[in-house]
Amino acid sequence: MVRVAISVEGLTEERFIKGLLFDHFVPLNIFLTPIDVHGNVSIDRVQRELENLAFSFDKVTTLYDFYGFKDRQPSETKASLEARIKARLNPRIASIVFPYVQMHEFEGLLFSSPAAIARHVQALNEQNISTWAQSILNSFNDDPEKINDSSVTAPSKRLEQNTSYKKTIDGPNIANEIGLQNIREQCAGFNNWITMMEGW
């Protein structure tokens, strides 16, 4: 049995792991426990959190959003941010801690299925939600993880400004409807993270 702690940014990610990821890993004898840090994610805070978790679990990883990471550098990339997190850890635990940062945030994964989004939220105007979400996806070459990270254009901001989207309820529900395999097929970074954990 492999006990895996996943430090997550909030309740939405916690529910996502419990609702969609947990059952996928049980047959592999891997048991996921999401630990909510309640937002305000920064390098200093992450370091303390991960070092505490490392004493109680066999493996530790994260599910943090690239968008909104508090002390992200202007030239930061996903890889460099993950490397900075790793570099701050006590060397004694570095071998069991594997930081993962989602591009650009959890809600990007939901754009894997514009139709699923449309079945769970209502438009705040006259637009067709499925057509609207598909047009966004198309503008990023059908890659949900490329939907960008400004305070207006981040995936969650697009949803909140244009639909009835409620993060902690609709987010996990939409993801559950889409299904893990469909998300993995469209989101390469996320798929690599899942594949890594499957190898444990």
Look at residue 149 and tell me whether its pLDDT is greater than 80.
no
Confidence of residue 150 (pLDDT cuts 50, 70, 90): confident
- pLDDT digit string, tens, across residues 84-127: 999 999 999 999 999 999 999 999 999 999 999 999 999 998 88
Sequence-distant (6+) residues with CB within 8 A of 102 are 63, 64, 65, 66, 108, 109, 145, 189, 190
7, 63 Cβ separation under 8 angstroms: yes
**Taking the model in full, what pTM does it have?**
0.96
Q: What is the mean pLDDT of the chain?
A: 96
- pLDDT digit string, tens, across residues 26-70: 999 999 999 999 999 999 999 999 999 999 999 999 999 999 899
Sequence-distant (6+) residues with CB within 8 A of 113 are 174, 177, 178, 182
Token pair recorded at residue 163:
């639909």
